[in-house]
């Protein structure tokens, strides 16, 4: 029987020992003492937002992984934004029974959890305070930046927080983890092949205008706009092939994961056609792209794009964390009225209603295998030559009503052009200045610059053509599109100091500089392109690359340097700009005959490129002070920049800009931490008989004929230099 007593005694002692251990864990501890706690974590299910259009709900269990794979635990010494980080610990797994380390505090501390980072060296673990942590984000390029595939299921970031006064060990803290992203389900049905409508072949499905940052932590109470500080930062997801969707040939389902994008609401009528027009800036939308055969030429594929604004209802454009949105889309025709905005990818991009310019940015269709038309107004000829109020009155060149007409052709390009193979003329001839020429490019057209010129017909039957070009236009074929920045508002503090120096636009950025002229001067509300006019990339710059173009001061026509260029298909030729003591004889077809005329030597140093007798009163400021307006308002007829942009007046690039890298062909200038502006060096082609280049120096023209340089060599206005365009808001 003694052995039974011994067993009973052992059981009692064991129970007492366990009880003592629990009491020890729950004992009161002093502030600053490390303590062990347990954490009870609940993963919130995805919230269904009750959308206006419904599809069959996707079974979440077959796609989403709700497992907590790893965990960051951060404790802040308070609950205000300036509360400093006390400790950040990483756990590579989660077990409800495991103990977690915190620090005791008699005042409320904020404890934040971030799950499923799969990163034990993440940047936010080194933040200084709660405000800095709340601003920490992961850059987003596509969905792979938002979800991690684990055992065939999608695992996403989750976060939660609680404010706790921690004075004893062994307590259990409860958290309700929520996903920091949202989910889009869409089912698309194409009925066009079954009806009398134009047949549409859908190629891609994507989501566009997606925030480029996904924050590691989403508060339960988001502000009216979130993310608030990055209104201009949007990316387009790469398109998903139609064939990769789940379903039949004519009906497919797709799923997308997006960062939070709280854009707000808009009180619009119950009309889906108006929803896209009334959408807040930066709202995300579904993009469905495809092709159809041109009715007049079935060999040409035309692009079509349908857009569906995302959000919870006709008036709600918000995409909230931990939410799921479901859509059903039926395409009945290429101009289906049920879409928010239809045929956005028009077969013709018509520039006739834009500000008249000497350069147009040409963005080929994003839909593979299609052609897109571009319509360019010819009114510049009239504005310059017309005998009433033109810059240089010459009725023969003015293309007035009743003139014998005009003919457009490619003068030169940076890529080989073969008519009807990779370039089609749609409208090559016309009769007066109210018309336009029109050409078409395929979606895979090589990027670069094309110069298109206009000649006069000399007879009514249009059988004889003049020798000289009376005007020309630069077509800058690129994927870079800075125009969204024309609607951006710079982010500055109450004193006008820059809070941000780079703003995202399609294909690149636009910049602001930290100089007085950008705070209170000419560029207070402006942005400058991140690359030179005509350039195809930011850099580093190579002087034999496409887009390496020079502009002589006051001239609208670029001239290439060293890179390979091709005469137009009709055999048009051009001359490199150079001179001798008697004047230009072969400068880019007498600088497109010849707005307006050449100033010659014998010495070019310090000599203006313009004769004071060759253009009217404001000859000394052709880029900045147009004769047409008599003031600095408006865009000069000589200005080489695209619509909405112009050559800066002065002080856009301060010589005190910090030089970060001194390379043989480019320099980096630090705008802010990790933000650099890139400028070519060797940036002055002196237009003398030797064609001297100034190596290792940066030059950029100002509209008034002065130049910006990292050195000081004077203003040789006969030289070729770069142009970098600035938005023209301050000149309004």
Helix (H) or strand (E) holding 160: strand 158-166
Q: For residues 638-667, b (16+ Cβ closer than 10 Å) or e, as one string?
A: bbbbbbbbbbbbbbbbeeebeeeeeeebbb
Helix (H) or strand (E) holding 518: helix 516-519
The CATH class that applies to domain 182-348 reads mainly beta
Rounded to an integer, the average pLDDT of 310-330 is: 87
Query: Is the model's pLDDT at 84 over the cut of 70?
Result: yes
Neighbours of 80 (CB within 10 A): 11
Structure tokens, 391: 């810059």
Please tell me the distance from the alpha carbon of residue 167 to that of residue 32, in angstroms, as a whole number. 10
Please tell me the distance from the alpha carbon of residue 468 to that of residue 459, in angstroms, as a whole number. 15
pLDDT band at 101 (very low <50, low <70, confident <90, very high): very high
DSSP E strand stretches across 180-300: 181-190, 201-208, 210-211, 213-215, 234-235, 240-241, 246-247, 251-259, 285-293
Query: Is the model's pLDDT at 220 over the cut of 60?
Result: yes
Q: What is the pTM of this model?
A: 0.68
Please tell me the distance from the alpha carbon of residue 223 to that of residue 218, in angstroms, as a whole number. 11
Query: Which of 345-349, 360-364, 580-584, 593-597 has the least mean pLDDT?
Result: 580-584
Neighbours of 400 (CB within 10 A): 18
Helix (H) or strand (E) holding 215: strand 213-215
Tell me if 451 sits within 8 A of 557, measured CB to CB.
yes
Structure tokens, 576: 């490199």
Residue-level pLDDT at 353: 87
> What pairs with residue 527 in β-bridges?
none
Q: Residues 125, 128, 134, 139: is their CA dihedral positive or negative?
A: negative
Rounded to an integer, the average pLDDT of 362-369 is: 88
Tell me if 233 sits within 8 A of 484, measured CB to CB.
no
Query: Which of 5-19, 119-133, 280-294, 710-724 has the least mean pLDDT?
Result: 5-19
Please tell me the distance from the alpha carbon of residue 552 to that of residue 719, in angstroms, as a whole number. 6
> Per residue in 448-496, pLDDT tens?
999 999 988 888 888 888 878 889 999 999 999 999 888 888 888 888 8
pLDDT band at 332 (very low <50, low <70, confident <90, very high): confident
Residue 284 φ/ψ, nearest 5 degrees: -80, 150
Query: Is the model's pLDDT at 1 over the cut of 70?
Result: no
Q: Using alpha carbons, select from 202, 220, 79 the residue that is nearest to residue 160.
A: 220
Interstrand relation of 341-342 and 301-309 (parallel, antiparallel or unpaired):
antiparallel
Query: Which of 4-8, 41-45, 640-644 has the least mean pLDDT?
Result: 4-8
DSSP 96: T
Query: Is the model's pLDDT at 232 over the cut of 50?
Result: yes
Residue carrying the six token digits 């289906």: 336
Query: Which of 109-123, 150-164, 426-440, 515-529 has the least mean pLDDT?
Result: 515-529
Please tell me the distance from the alpha carbon of residue 350 to that of residue 386, in angstroms, as a whole number. 24
CATH number of 30-180: 2.60.40.2580
Helix, coil or strand: residue 4:
helix
- Three-class SS string for 686-708? CCCCCCCECCCCCEEECCCCCEE
Asked if omega into 237 is within 30° of 0 (cis), the reply is no
Sequence-ordered alpha helix ranges (H) in 376-422: 379-385
Please tell me the distance from the alpha carbon of residue 506 to that of residue 478, in angstroms, as a whole number. 11
Please tell me the distance from the alpha carbon of residue 550 to that of residue 555, in angstroms, as a whole number. 10
Query: Is the model's pLDDT at 609 over the cut of 70?
Result: no
Helix (H) or strand (E) holding 73: strand 71-76
Residue-level pLDDT at 655: 56
Q: Please classify residue 706 by burial: count the beta carbons closer than 10 Å to its beta carbon, then call 0-12 exposed, 13-18 middle and 19+ buried.
A: middle
Please tell me the distance from the alpha carbon of residue 336 to that of residue 343, in angstroms, as a whole number. 9
Residue-level pLDDT at 657: 57
Q: Using alpha carbons, select from 524, 526, 491, 528 the residue that is nearest to residue 509.
A: 528
Please tell me the distance from the alpha carbon of residue 640 to that of residue 417, in angstroms, as a whole number. 23
Tell me if 285 sits within 8 A of 309, measured CB to CB.
yes
Tell me if 607 sits within 8 A of 600, measured CB to CB.
no
Residue-level pLDDT at 604: 35
Structure tokens, 222: 């988001």
Query: Is the model's pLDDT at 416 over the cut of 90?
Result: yes
Tell me if 87 sits within 8 A of 74, measured CB to CB.
yes
Q: What is the DSSP string of 479-516?
A: S---GGGGG----B-TT--BS-SEEEETTEEEE--SSH
Percent of the chain with pLDDT over 70: 73
- Sequence-separated (6 or more) residues with CB below 8 Å from residue 2: none
Interstrand relation of 181-190 and 251-259 (parallel, antiparallel or unpaired):
antiparallel
Interstrand relation of 172-179 and 34-43 (parallel, antiparallel or unpaired):
parallel
Helix, coil or strand: residue 13:
helix
Helix, coil or strand: residue 16:
helix
Query: Which of 98-107, 266-275, 290-299, 718-727 has the least mean pLDDT?
Result: 266-275
Query: Which of 296-300, 675-679, 719-723 has the least mean pLDDT?
Result: 719-723
**What fold, for 358-457+465-477?**
Immunoglobulin-like (2.60.40)
What residue segments make up the domains of the chain, in order of their start?
A: 30-180, 182-348, 358-457+465-477
Q: Using alpha carbons, select from 212, 104, 220, 211 the residue that is nearest to residue 158.
A: 220
Rounded to an integer, the average pLDDT of 422-427 is: 93
């Amino acid at each position: 029987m003694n052995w039974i007593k011994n067993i009973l005694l052992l059981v009692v002692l064991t129970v007492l020992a366990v009880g003592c251990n629990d009491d020890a864990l729950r004992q009161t501890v002093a502030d600053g003492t490390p303590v062990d706690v347990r954490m009870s974590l609940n993963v919130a299910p995805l919230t269904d937002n009750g959308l206006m259009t419904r599809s069959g709900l996707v079974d979440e269990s077959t796609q989403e992984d709700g497992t907590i794979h790893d965990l960051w635990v951060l404790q802040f010494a308070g609950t205000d934004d300036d509360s400093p980080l006390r400790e950040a610990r990483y756990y590579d797994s989660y077990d409800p029974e495991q103990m977690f380390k915190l620090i005791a505090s008699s005042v409320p501390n904020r404890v934040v959890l971030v799950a499923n980072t799969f990163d034990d060296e993440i940047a936010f673990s080194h933040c200084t305070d709660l405000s800095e942590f709340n601003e920490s984000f992961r850059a987003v390029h596509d969905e792979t930046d938002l979800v991690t595939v684990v055992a065939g299921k999608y695992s996403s970031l989750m976060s939660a927080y609680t404010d706790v006064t921690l004075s004893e060990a062994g307590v259990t803290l409860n958290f309700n983890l929520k996903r920091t992203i949202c989910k889009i389900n869409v089912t698309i049905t194409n009925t066009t092949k079954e009806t009398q409508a134009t047949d549409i072949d859908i190629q891609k499905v994507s989501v566009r205008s997606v925030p480029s940052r996904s924050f590691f932590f989403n508060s339960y109470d988001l502000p009216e706009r979130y993310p608030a500080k990055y209104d201009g930062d949007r990316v387009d997801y790469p398109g998903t092939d139609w064939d990769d969707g789940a379903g039949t040939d004519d009906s497919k389902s797709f799923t997308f994961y997006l960062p939070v994008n709280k854009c707000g609401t808009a009180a619009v009528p119950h009309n889906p056609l108006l929803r896209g027009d009334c959408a807040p800036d930066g709202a995300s939308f579904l993009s469905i792209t495809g092709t159809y055969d041109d009715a007049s030429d079935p060999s040409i594929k035309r692009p079509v794009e349908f857009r569906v604004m995302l959000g919870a209802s006709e008036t709600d454009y918000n995409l909230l964390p931990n939410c799921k949105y479901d859509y059903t889309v039926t395409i009945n025709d290429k101009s289906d009225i049920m879409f928010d905005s239809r045929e956005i990818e028009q077969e013709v991009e018509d520039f006739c209603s834009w500000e008249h310019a000497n350069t147009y940015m040409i963005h080929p269709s994003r839909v593979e295998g299609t052609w897109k038309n571009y319509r360019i107004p010819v009114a510049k000829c009239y504005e310059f030559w017309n005998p009433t109020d033109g810059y240089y009155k010459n009725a023969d060149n003015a293309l007035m009503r009743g003139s014998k007409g005009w003919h457009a052709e490619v003068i030169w390009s940076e890529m080989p052009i073969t008519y009807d193979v990779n370039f089609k003329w749609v409208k090559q001839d016309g009769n007066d200045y109210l018309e336009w020429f029109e050409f078409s490019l395929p979606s895979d057209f090589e990027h670069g610059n094309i110069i298109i010129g206009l000649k006069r017909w000399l007879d009514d039957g249009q059988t004889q053509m003049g020798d000289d070009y009376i005007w020309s236009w630069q077509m800058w074929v690129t994927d870079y599109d800075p125009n969204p920045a024309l609607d951006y508002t710079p982010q500055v503090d109450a004193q006008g100091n820059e809070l941000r120096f780079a703003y995202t636009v399609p294909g690149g950025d636009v910049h602001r500089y930290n100089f007085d002229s950008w705070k209170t001067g000419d560029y207070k509300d402006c942005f400058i392109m991140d690359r030179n006019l005509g350039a195809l990339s930011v850099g580093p710059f190579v002087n034999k690359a496409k887009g390496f173009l020079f502009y002589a001061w006051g001239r609208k026509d670029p001239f290439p340097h060293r890179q390979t260029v091709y005469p137009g298909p009709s055999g048009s030729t051009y001359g490199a700009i150079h001179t001798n003591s008697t004047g230009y004889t072969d400068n880019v077809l007498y600088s497109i005959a010849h707005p307006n005329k050449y100033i010659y030597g014998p010495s070019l140093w310090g000599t203006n490129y313009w004769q004071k007798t060759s253009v009217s009163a404001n000859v000394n400021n052709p880029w900045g002070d147009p004769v047409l307006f008599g003031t600095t308002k408006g865009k000069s007829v000589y200005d080489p920049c695209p619509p909405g942009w112009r050559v800066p007046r002065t002080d856009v690039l301060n010589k005190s800009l910090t030089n970060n890298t001194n390379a043989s062909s480019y320099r980096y200038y630090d705008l802010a931490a990790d933000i650099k502006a890139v400028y070519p060096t060797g940036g002055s082609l002196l237009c003398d008989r030797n064609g001297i280049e100034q190596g290792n120096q940066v030059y950029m023209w100002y509209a008034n004929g002065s130049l910006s340089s990292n050195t000081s060599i004077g203003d040789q206005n006969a030289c070729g230099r770069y142009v970098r365009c600035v938005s023209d808001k301050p000149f309004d």
